[in-house]
Every structure is written in C-alpha cells, then in structure tokens.
Chain A
Amino acid sequence: MKATDKLIAAIDKKLERFDPLWQAENGTGGLRSRYYDKTGVAKWREWRGVKDTFYDYTQWINNLVSMAGMVASAPVPILKGFWEYRWMGSYLGTFMFIDRLFEGYRGTELRIAHQNMHAIVQSLTKRIAFILSNDRRLGGGPDTDKIIPHDETITPLFLKGFKDLYPVPMQTLPEFIICDIDQHIEPYYIDVAESFGLPADVCSRCAAETGVALDDALPLVGKIMLSTNMPCNASEATSMFQRRRIGLPDNPITLAMQHQEKEAIPYSRKELENALAFVEEHYGVKYDWNELFKYATLMNEQNTIELEKWDLFKTPYSPLSGIAESLYRLYSWQSANGTDPYFNKVDRKVIEIMRKCYEDKYLPFGGKTRHRAFLWGPSAVYYTDFPTWTQNCWGITIVLNMDSTMGYNMIDTTDPDKAMDDLTAFTQRACMRHHAVGGWENINAVWEWAKNFNCDMVLMNDNIACKGMLGVHAVMEEQARDLGLHFIFIEHDLEDSRTVSRQDMRNCVNNYMSVVLNEKPLDPTLLEFDDSQAF
C-alpha cells in the first residue's frame, strides 16, 4: 500500500461516521439525515470518503465550468432568457438535481454516472446558449432561420442530412428536460392549460406542453415546425395548440402506430421523405446523404456500444444501472441522437470501464443488490432519482428502462435507399412510444425483456392519465403472477407531483417490499420523508 493510500484510508476511517452509507449500516443515520425537512436542500454534501468526495467535487467543478461557458458564450441572451422564461429559472436547480441522482454512489458507479451526466450537461448548456441566442423573442440571431424546430419525440438524426441547418427539439428546454430538474415547474404550465378548459385527466406531460405554448413560453426559431403523432393521443392533440401559437408552417410526421407490422415501414418512410421535402422547400436547401452518413456512423457506434452494454447489464457486474443509465440513454438517443461526437467519446470510455468491471467480477453498490428490476412504462420523469432511491432504500437495481430500448437498429451508411428504411425503423422506436402504444405485442414484450436481463422484478410505471397503459392493467398483473415475477405498479401523474407525490410513489414500493416480501430497508431514513418542496 502506498503512503498516500494509507493516509487516505486513515482519513476515511476517521471520518466514516459522516458517510451516510456507514450511518445506515450502523444505525446512526442515513442518506436522508443531512437534509432540511421538505426542501430537498442538504445541509452539507454527501461525504463519500476522500477519493469519491474529491471526484464528485471535480465533477461539480466540471459542470460549473460548462455552465459558466454557457453564460460566457451568450451572456445577454442567457440573462434575457432567465428574465423571460419561467422554465429557465428552473435550470438553476441542476446542481441539486445531479446531487440527488447519484446519492449513495461510490467508486466506479460514481465515475461512470458523472461521465454520462457531464455529457448531458455540456450538450444541454450549449443547446440553451444556441437557442436563446437565436430566439426571435429575445432579438434573434444569425442562425434563427437555419434552425428546424421539431417535436421532441422526433429523432433529429434524419434531419442531419441538411448540412447548414440545425434540428432542435422544440419542447426539450421548456418541458422535456426541465421537468426532471424541478418538480414544481410543469404544474404551473398545466394550470395554464387547464385555465383554458382542458380537463385535468389528460396526460400531464401533454397538458404541460400545451400550457407552455399557451403561455407563449416556447422559444421562437426556424421557418417551419415538424410535429408528430408520437408518442400518443394527447401528444398528437397538443400539437394543434403549438402550431397555432408558433404560427409557422407545420408538417406533421404521422408515423405508423403499429410499427412492428411490415406495412408500417413504407408508410412511415414516406412520411419522413415528405418531411424532408417540406424542409427542402421552405429552406431552399438540398439533402446531402454523405452528411447524413457521417452522423449515422456516430449513431451506429453509439448503438453498437449500447448493445454491448446490454450484454453486461445481464450480469451482476455492471456498474452502470438506474438513472445513470436511463437518463443518459434517454438524452443521448432522443436528443443527441448521433449528432454530438462527445457522446461517442463518453461511450467508448464507459464501455472500457464496464468491460474491466466484468473481468474483475466487480459487484456494484457494495454488493447490496437484492433484486434486479426492469422499469417499464413512460417514466415519471419529474421524479428522476426514483431508481436511485430504490437502490439505496431497498437494494432494487433498475437494470434497464423501457425507454432505453429505443431504436437500436443499425443504419446503412452507403446506400440512401437502405438507409431510409433503417432510419424509418429507427425513428419509429422513439421515446415513450414503441412499447406503450401500438398494440398488445409491444407491451407484452416486457416479460421477454425482463427474462433476458435476468430480472426478478418488473416495476411498471402507472401514469394515472396514460390511456395506453391503463388499458392493460389487469392483464399485466395476471401475467406477472403466472410468470412468478415480482410486479409493482408505481402510480404517478407524470409531471404533476401534486396529484401523486414522490412519497406516494415510494409507498407503492415500500408496501410491496415490506408487506409482500417482508424485507427490511437498507437505509431506514429513506423509508418515509417529505420532499414535497424540493426541486
């Protein structure tokens, strides 16, 4: 042992009583002990031992630098954005958000999680700066007319054949991402939508999107907009309001709902081709396949690595799981989607670490995993640290999330005709879309996925307003019983934490674990706590 290691070990020993994991094991506290009640504000940051605390600190600096870079790159638009948009204020909760996502993480898990997270932070900060710098509402910029605003569930990759244009998902900043960071932001927009008479029983995500549009809080960029029927009914309907409010020519890309059928591809392909023609017509540009192939190659690499990750997820030796996996995959697939090489860099690094862990038979989370769960259903994104909580409280590792299984087919990079078919199949398997609606077979796939990933448990997110998932409630439960899988419905109202609180969601698991499985929590301080006023 080197002298420094000895010193560190001595310090760690001396300070171990401040480590919440040690506290939980020794009955002197736990992960929740360091919080002010209700607020989600920690009195101090988590003590993870010298090395991990220092690593976490360096990553905090790293993210801070990205944010400072964002402000420095466009100080006036950023400040104007903060002043104009309520949702921009919520981005200030990012540090608190990252802290709670990786609570209890140590060693390799922490390193991978931060690498993934920083990829998101660096991408998002650049995107915020870019959009606000070109937002007509804030004065516009040099690229305002070069942006293609598209629905958040349309993948930007197929639009990358337009060399000088920038595809930007419209709702990502004001809704899709920010609801992860601040549970109180979207209820404001939901209330706006409901003040126009929208019933409270529609999907809260779509209600929030509608509210953002009606509140005139969408950045104004581009010459057209590309809406879509994905993922579901309410999402289709909300685009009517976005179209009217934004006032740009709209081309709805209506992809096949029953996308697994062979008839789907020619139809959906034509939809994409029509969208490309629409862009060409309005922007006066030509589609460049070589340009597309460049990005498709990046996406293929991402997916190749992803598939290898899946093989490792099937073993007990994967240090990547839970929110570090699902949030990264969600962003890197749906939002980056092969358009940002930084994600490839991170993927290469992470897979190396994962391979090493597999060789070393490394057991993550101190070997405390008791159950391996597949998380199914459109995620309750306003409670993003839920998988972290299941891990810390009950030792339930979320091995994979439904949305992590988005388009993983490879895209041909030589033949435009083949590439178009591949892109169609790829695009149809978008976020919240390919398994939640479009027929029984899509959702019935959960058992196969759970089995393949050696899971003994399925956590089914039960969005109380998702009509596609509600319609199969009992059949799913009956099947789980027949197959002998632990099955828990996690009731939630997606982006409206007023209807079903985070504690209500946790109680779904608490009740099953304590009443049905008769298990004891790893950290009793996590069993019941009030975080209703937290971001």
Chain B
Amino acid sequence: MKDLKHLIYFENLLQDAQNELVTKAVDEGMYALGYNCYYVPETLLNLPGCFSSRLRAPRCVSTDVAGYYMTNRTCPYARSILERAIEGGYNYLNALFGSESCATMERMEEHFALLKPVKNDKFFTTIIDPPMKGDENNLTYYKVQLRTKVLEPLHEHYGIDISEDALRAAIDDHNEISRVITAIGEHRKADNPNITGYEFHVMQLVSQVCPHTMILPYLQETLEELETREPEPKFPFRARVALVGSEIDDPEFTKLIETCGAMVVADRYCYGSFPSREQIEIRDGESAFDAICRHYLHWNQCPRFMDGMKIDQRHHEVERLIREFKADGVIFENMKFCEFWSYEKVLSNHIFTNELHIPCCTIEKEYALGAVGQLRTRFQAFIESLEIKQIQGGK
C-alpha cells in the first residue's frame, strides 16, 4: 500500500510524552491535564483552555528508580510512568487526574503527590475512587467523584470554565475526534482493508496524547486519504485477530502481531478505540456532565467491574467486535503483575474457547517490548492454528 502522508509524523509524535504539539499547546497557554485510565473521562479534560494528555512512557528501557519506590514486582506500566515522571518527562503537566482503578495505578499516581516529580509549581494530583458496578448507586458515586476530584479542582486551581456550555463544547470536541477515528477504524472491516492494525493504532494513540484541536486536521486529512487509498492486491495477512487486554500504548506490539501474520482488526484494550471513541449522546433533560458520566460508565469494560451485567457486557462486546470486524480469533493480553487482567484472561479464555468456540490465545507481557522471541513464537503458533482452522473449513 502507498504510505500514508502523515504516518511518519504521527509516529514521531509518539516518541515523547511532550511532543511538538503538546509543547505548542502549552506555549499557547493551554493547561495540560494528564490521566492514565479510561475511568477519568478524557472529555472532562478537554474543556475550553485545557487539553488531555494520556500518559505514556515511550522508549522507557529501565525502571530502576521507580522499582526502588514500588519494587520490581508491580505493574511495569505503572513503574514506567513513574520512572518517566521522575526523569522529568511530564514537566509540562498542570495536573494529574488519577483513578484507583487498581492498587498499583493508585500507588503510582500517589507518588506524583508524594515525590513531586513534576516540576510545575501549580501542579496537583487527585485520585478518584472509581465505581465497580454499572448501577444507579455507582453512577451517582462516579458523578460525585468526577465533580469533586476533576471539575471542581480544575475550576479552583486554574479557573477553568466548567459550565454546561463548556461541557457541551467538550462533548462536541470528543464526538468530532471520535467520529474521525471511528471512520478510520471502520476501514479495518473490509475483507482486504486499506489500513493496517499498526497504522490505526498509531492514529488512535496520537488522538489520545495530542491536543485534539491540533491533531484533528491531520486525522481528518488521513481519513480523506483513506477513502481513495488502494489496498494490497491480495489480503497480505494469514488471519485477522481482535486484540484485547490492558495498557497497550506501544504500536510496535501491534506491529509484532502483524509481522507474525495476523492483522489486528479490533483494538479492545486500554489505549485502544474500544472503548474510547464512541459518540456521547446527551439525552432529553440530561445535563452534559451527567451524559458524560453515564456514557463513560456504560462503555467502560474494565475487568474490575464485578456485577454480572458488566461482566457479560465486556465479553459480549469482544464477541461483537470479533463478528463485526470478521476476526478469526482473539488474543487476550495482560500486563505482568496485573491482578485484574490475570484473572480476566483465565475467565475469557474459558468463555471464548469453550462456550463461544472462538479461537483464543492468552499472553502476558512487559510494558517495554524487549525480548519478544517468546511472544513471537506464541503468536506464530496461534496464527498457524487459525490458518489450519480456515483450511479445515472452521472445524
């Protein structure tokens, strides 16, 4: 396929947390608001005058200092983020909005307050207590948390407008970038897509780490480019897979799977587009804030949800993606030391393999892609099994 015009530019934007667009926005006086987890609605961090910055630690090769603080027996994603903070990689941030989504994430975010690694006088950290069920009581609690730990501190510290109009503007911003990303992602549904999983992953990531207003024109242009982009004459992969799991913010991981022969057609993982790029709808009589909270609670598919409805939802959602994106199988990933995904992986493997009869592969990985030999072997074996299945007519 012909190279996408902005792909290299996008790739370069992912080389540092403080990329050129982030620097430009900060220089223009916008407030940079960091977050790690989907539980903190990106939309609330894109109020007028602010921009969201989902934290990554690109090119992080060692977590020695973070390991001293959190031991080397904790999630490498959390450690890498802390390491990058201590290195000074997030000095552009004005605030970090954390979430006690898991114990390690909470401890890592706590260190932003305890060690004060972000060299910014007005920098502050808050950590929400996120809900664990999808019912009314949990929605109410979620609203209280987001109002008292995101909106009100933003207003108090930086005088950010948190009015209904401002929130509606933030929703418009969210819906627009989501519309573009979703439209780009739809191209993966084709039998012979004119986009690779890697390329999409790169674009989804830049939409999360760059100021929306600045990255949007590039994404729109790429969408237009895709309308006419010719796919390879023949589908160049041996299989199609959905990738499900925890924090995957390195497109090289997607590339690894694709170089093994399977196109990643659906991305249901933290930092992926499912969930994150759904349209927020404001219902009749509903405030913009309520709509945001309802939306994020509904779409959140974190394995920490405990009620049967949400557990079923997350499995049905993967099943839906597999169907709609015509995936031959699913890969469940968990970050090493992640309690939630470790359990979810076991349960999902059972559900997909034994109940839904969808080929499933489960792997565990480090945050930084170092030695990938074992992973490559696993993927190759899985893809081979999918191929054999295809040859045997799905039996």
Contacts and interface: CB of A to CB of B under 8 A. Distances in A.
Interface stretch (A178-186, A227-235, A316-324, A385-393): A227-235
Contacts of B100: 257-258, 437-439
Nearest to B102: A233
A471 B133 contact: no
Contacts of B137: 267, 270-271, 274
B129 A258 contact: yes
B106 interface: yes
Interface stretch (B25-33, B140-148, B176-184, B194-202): B140-148
Contacts of B253: none
Given A263-B145, A471-B103, A254 B132 contact: yes
Interface stretch (A53-61, A195-203, A292-300): A195-203
A243 interface: yes
A465 B132 CA distance: 22
A256 B135 CA distance: 14
B125 to A, nearest CB: 11
Contact of A474 (B69, B103, B337): B69
Interface string B152-176: 0000000000000000000000000
B129 A203 contact: no
Interface string A262-283: 0110010011001000000000
A474 B74 contact: no
Given A243-B308, A474-B68, A257 B129 contact: yes
B359 interface: no
Interface in A241-263: 241, 243-244, 250, 252, 254, 256-258, 261, 263
Interface in B35-80: 68-71, 73-75, 78
Contact of B303 (A203, A237, A238, A270): A237
A475 interface: yes
A465 B71 CA distance: 11
B336 interface: yes
A238 B103 CA distance: 16
Given A470-B70, A474-B68, A475-B69, A233 B306 contact: no
Given A198-B343, A202-B342, A237-B340, A471 B141 contact: no
Contacts of A8: none
A464 B72 CA distance: 10
Nearest to B337: A201
Contact of A471 (B106, B138, B144): B106
A210 B347 CA distance: 11
Contacts of A256: 129, 141
Contact of B129 (A234, A244, A261, A470): A261
A437 B308 CA distance: 24
A335 interface: no
B24 to A, nearest CB: 34
If over half of B's interface residues share one DSSP class (helix, strand or loop), that class is named, otherwise mixed; here it is helix
B103 A198 contact: no
Contact of A198 (B71, B75, B346): B346
B343 A467 contact: no
A240 interface: yes
A510 interface: no
B102 A201 contact: no
Nearest to B115: A475
A229 B306 contact: yes
Contact of B114 (A203, A206, A475): A475
Given A201-B336, A263-B141, A233 B103 contact: yes
Interface residues of A, number: 50
B132 A229 contact: yes
Contacts of B220: none
B343 A234 contact: yes
Contacts of B347: 240-241, 244
Contacts of A238: 343
B384 interface: no
Interface string B321-347: 000000000000010110110111111
A234 B129 CA distance: 17
Contacts of B113: 440
A237 B339 contact: yes
A473 interface: yes
Given A471-B74, A471-B110, A199 B306 contact: no
A439 B103 contact: no
Contacts of B349: 197
Which among B113, B334, B347 has the highest number of chain A CB atoms within 10 Å? B347
B309 to A, nearest CB: 11
Nearest to B136: A270
Contact of B144 (A237, A263, A475): A263
Which among B68, B141, B340 has the highest number of chain A CB atoms within 10 Å? B141
A236 interface: yes
B73 A464 contact: yes
A252 B69 contact: no
Which among B137, B337, B362 has the highest number of chain A CB atoms within 10 Å? B137
Interface string B266-308: 0000000000000000000000000000000000000110111
Nearest to A489: B71
A239 interface: yes
B378 interface: no
Contact of A237 (B104, B140, B336, B343): B343
Interface string B111-127: 10110000000000001
A203 B110 contact: no
Contacts of B311: 240
A257 B336 CA distance: 23
A468 B107 contact: yes
Which among A257, A261, A264, A465 has the highest number of chain B CB atoms within 10 Å? A257
A285 interface: no
Contacts of B69: 473-475
A472 interface: yes
B106 A439 contact: yes
B34 interface: no
20 contacts: A196-B346, A202-B343, A232-B103, A233-B103, A233-B340, A236-B340, A237-B342, A240-B343, A254-B133, A258-B127, A267-B138, A270-B137, A439-B106, A439-B110, A467-B74, A467-B339, A470-B73, A473-B70, A475-B69, A475-B111
Would you list the 3 A-B pairs with minimal beta carbon distance, nearest first? A471-B107, A237-B343, A468-B103
Given A234-B339, A252-B307, A475-B69, 11 more contacts: A233-B340, A250-B308, A252-B132, A252-B306, A254-B138, A437-B106, A438-B100, A439-B127, A465-B73, A467-B75, A472-B107
Interface of A: 196-199, 201-203, 206, 210, 227, 229, 232-234, 236-241, 243-244, 250, 252, 254, 256-258, 261, 263-264, 267, 270-271, 274, 437-440, 464-468, 470-475
